[in-house]
Amino acid sequence: MLAVKAARLRLALCAPVAVLCVLAGCGQGGSSTEAKPLNLELTESGDNTSYSGTPREVPAGLVRVSLKNGGKTPHEAQMVRVDGEHTADEVVQVISREGGPIPEWLHPAGGVSITPPGQTTTAVQPLEEGTHHVLDLQSEGPSKGAQATFNVTGGGGDAEPPEAPATVTASEYKFETSGLKPGKNRVRFDNAGQEYHHVIMAPIKPGKTIDDARKFLSTEKGEPPIDEEKSVSSAVIDAGSSQVIDLELEKGKYAAVCFISDRKGGPPHAAKGMLMEVDVQ
């Protein structure tokens, strides 16, 4: 199931199931002259957050989604496409039931992962026709997070994102990577599987191993062998979907992990072996 909290890897680890969206400490993005802009801005007011700039209608096809975080804490813009007349509140109720099944009417649709305060992050991806809800799940309670809704109209939802120098491909239950290097990476994230996926990449601390990370993720005991504050990731995307993002990486070894559960429910993919070492050189 899609878990509720994902701002930092520690929050994701505390959930026994998946996260709707995560990215900590770095922007994501991509650019294409063919991509139409979809610009969102998030503001805080007390315990509540809200989006501004959300259009009522967006043409289907390739878009460049951006989120400007005008708040004082990290926020996100995870998109979810729904079939029928299902509301954003219904989506939140579903993803709050950790480990439960995902109804057929709910489809994760990418978007922008966690954006640090005062920064703007982007992702280039296609949008399919239908009703889309935008959700920020980084508040203390999901009901306090920002929500927005827009309709995607017309054809063109099968448009392909641009190619990128680096790739991360997710499937059941593994990752394949190429071209990752220290510094800013433009990455095409592809879901080649049949389930929903995202990727979190967290640096493995010096002297620690991927086996240490695996043990920690299964027990949540002891000092984390991974640097949670420097973790980066994609948004959650549907089977067969892709988006282009930017990931800021340091030289060294990373733990790549997926915390999404199967659509029928059950444990997160990390518990099924979707945890691997990536050497960034």
115 with 234, same domain: the answer is: no
DSSP secondary-structure letter at 88?
H
β-bridge partners, 81: 107, 132
Domain count, the chain: 2
200 with 237, same domain: the answer is: yes
Ramachandran category for residue 53: left, alpha or beta (phi over 0 → left; psi -120 to 50 → alpha): left
Q: What is the rounded distance in angstroms from the CA atom of residue 205 to the CA atom of residue 5?
A: 23
Q: Which helix (H) or strand (E) holds 272?
A: none
pLDDT for 233 equals 85
Query: Which range marks the domain in which residue 196 is found?
Result: 166-280
pLDDT for 145 equals 86
The reply to whether 58 falls in a domain is yes
From the DSSP assignment, how many helices (H) and strands (E) are in the chain? 3, 17
pLDDT for 160 equals 87
The reply to whether 52 falls in a domain is yes
Distance of CA 113 to the CA centre of its chain: 5
184 with 140, same domain: the answer is: no
The reply to whether 148 falls in a domain is yes
145 with 179, same domain: the answer is: no
Q: What is the rounded distance in angstroms from the CA atom of residue 215 to the CA atom of residue 44?
A: 38
The pTM for the full model equals 0.85
pLDDT for 144 equals 66
Cβ 199 vs Cβ 12: under 8 Å: no
149 with 170, same domain: the answer is: no
119 with 40, same domain: the answer is: yes
235 with 135, same domain: the answer is: no
Three-state secondary-structure class, residue 273:
coil
69 with 180, same domain: the answer is: no
CATH number of the domain bearing residue 204: 2.60.40
pLDDT for 5 equals 33
Spans of the chain below 50 pLDDT: 1-33, 141-143
44 with 135, same domain: the answer is: yes
Q: What is the rounded distance in angstroms from the CA atom of residue 191 to the CA atom of residue 202?
A: 19
The reply to whether 104 falls in a domain is yes
The reply to whether 208 falls in a domain is yes
pLDDT for 4 equals 34
The reply to whether 230 falls in a domain is yes
105 with 197, same domain: the answer is: no
CATH number of the domain bearing residue 146: 2.60.40.420
102 with 213, same domain: the answer is: no
Q: Largest Cα–Cα distance in the chain?
A: 53
pLDDT for 156 equals 66
16 with 132, same domain: the answer is: yes
Q: What is the rounded distance in angstroms from the CA atom of residue 228 to the CA atom of residue 203?
A: 8
